[in-house]
Structure 1
Amino acid sequence: MGEAPHGVVLRPMTEHDVPLIHRWLQAPHLAEWWGDAGFTLAETQAGYSPAVMAADQVTPYIAMRGGRAIGFAQSYLAMGSGDGWWDFVTDPGVRGIDQFLAHGEDLGQGLGTQMVEALVELLFRDPAVTLIQTDPDPGNHRAIRCYEKAGFRAVEIVTTPAGPALYMVRERKAHPL
């Protein structure tokens, strides 16, 4: 599990978490940016089953804080994602991330930044990971600020299969000699 200094823990998502994800996706603060609010439970199962995600080289997590599930996070191998995603990525060490806070009342409390930091820390434990990328909607200023606070820098606006996105990256920090 990945844990940030602030106590956000990432645990592997299980099949038992799919109904929870389905409920979370109906929240208005997620429907605006995530896009899966109209899914049926069966559609959520088809898209968020950990086994299905693993086949696509995606690793899902449930973010926990103080024993309470607060959100969802995922990491994926960027190179070779297919379907028009990240065709320019040629480094097999690049990982992409996406995440959301489940509860609207948790927004603006710094938990999103803590969750991103926990995910970054977890991914960079693997020495094969060279860079972490993310792609918020250019209009999602809350997400962009969250990533900036977690050490990401904006690179450029890119066109993805889901539309325009702000391509942001976080490099591995060099260790002092």
Structure 2
Amino acid sequence: MITWRRLAEHDFPLLQSWLKQPHVSRWWNHETSTEAVARDFGPAARGEEPSEDLLVHLDGSPIGLVQRCRLSDYPAYLAELAALVEVPHGAMTIDYLIGEPVHVGRGLGPQMIHSVVHATWSDHPDASCLLVPVTVANRASWRALEKAGLRRVAEGEMTPDNPVDGRVHYLYRGDRPSTPGRAPACQPPVSPSGPR
């Protein structure tokens, strides 16, 4: 079962170890010193930042992180997305990682994304949709979004997280279900035993 809770400061050593993993550092390109992790994740953990850092668990064991925020809380980021597509009022976004290599390639990314997207509609009643940009080079990430039921709605240039990547990104969207309990734009993920 996929569950999550807010990332706390006592989780920082675990997060720091994940950020050092080659499969994470390649795309997140984040400083991994103790000071940098505290600087960048501390404000959200203490409730001083409007974003949410969610420590995701599988059957009680931590497997990854999902960051979730309202785009309106980050005007520069909102403007970058708005250059590619119309951004509805109430739009949110997510970012995500699977921490340990042993969990990569098992279909957990789509499950994690789908679970958080589905919960977003009740956690944030004013959320209209989710818009998620992914660099074209990160095929595993955008395939995870597709398997989680989001659809590609745009392609264009954005600043990459890692300077080694090109500026071209795909933009994915998941909409709030029009009928309670039904999510046409975010169907359940493909089974981990299904095609990759």
TM-score (norm 2): 0.79
1:79 Cα offset (Å):
2.1
What residue identity is the alignment partner of 2:156?
V
- 1:127-151 Cα offsets, whole Å, 9 max, x none, are 2111011111111111111100111
Verify: 1:117 aligned to 2:87, yes or no: no
Which residue, 16, 36, 39 being the options, matches 1:22?
A: 16
Q: State the SS of the aligned residue for 1:155.
A: strand
Instruction: Indicate the residue corresponding to 1:86 in structure 2.
Output: 78
Go from structure 1 to structure 2 and tell me whether the alpha carbon gap of 1:28 and 1:53 turns closer, same or farther (over 3 Å shift): farther
What residue identity is the alignment partner of 1:85?
Y
1:54 Cα offset (Å):
4.4
Q: Which has the higher strand share?
A: 1
Instruction: Indicate the residue corresponding to 1:67 in structure 2.
Output: 60
After TM superposition, the structure 1 = structure 2 runs for residues 38-77 of structure 1, keeping only pairs within 5 Å, are 38-51=31-44, 54-77=47-70
Cα distance between partner residues in 1 of 2:77 and 2:26: 21
Cα distance between partner residues in 2 of 1:131 and 1:99: 17
How many percent identity over aligned positions?
Answer: 23
Mind listing any 5+ residue stretches in structure 2 that lack a counterpart? Answer: 161-166, 181-196
* Contact 1:24–1:102, Cα closer than 8 Å, also in 2: yes
Instruction: Indicate the residue corresponding to 1:34 in structure 2.
Output: 28
Cα distance between partner residues in 2 of 1:140 and 1:35: 13
* Contact 1:132–1:170, Cα closer than 8 Å, also in 2: yes
What residue identity is the alignment partner of 1:167?
L
TM-score (norm 1): 0.87
Number of corresponding residues:
169
Instruction: Indicate the residue corresponding to 1:107 in structure 2.
Output: 104
1:34 Cα offset (Å):
0.9
Mind listing any 5+ residue stretches in structure 1 that lack a counterpart? Answer: 1-6
Q: State the SS of the aligned residue for 2:27.
A: coil
1:161 Cα offset (Å):
3.3
1:80 Cα offset (Å):
4.4
- Aligned CA-pair RMSD: 2.1
Instruction: Indicate the residue corresponding to 2:177 in structure 1.
Output: 173
* Contact 1:14–1:50, Cα closer than 8 Å, also in 2: no
* Contact 1:93–1:130, Cα closer than 8 Å, also in 2: yes
Cα distance between partner residues in 1 of 2:56 and 2:38: 19
* Contact 2:44–2:53, Cα closer than 8 Å, also in 1: no
1:31 Cα offset (Å):
1.2
Which residue, 124, 127, 132 being the options, matches 2:125?
A: 127
- 1:10-43 Cα offsets, whole Å, 9 max, x none, are 111111111211111000101111111x431101
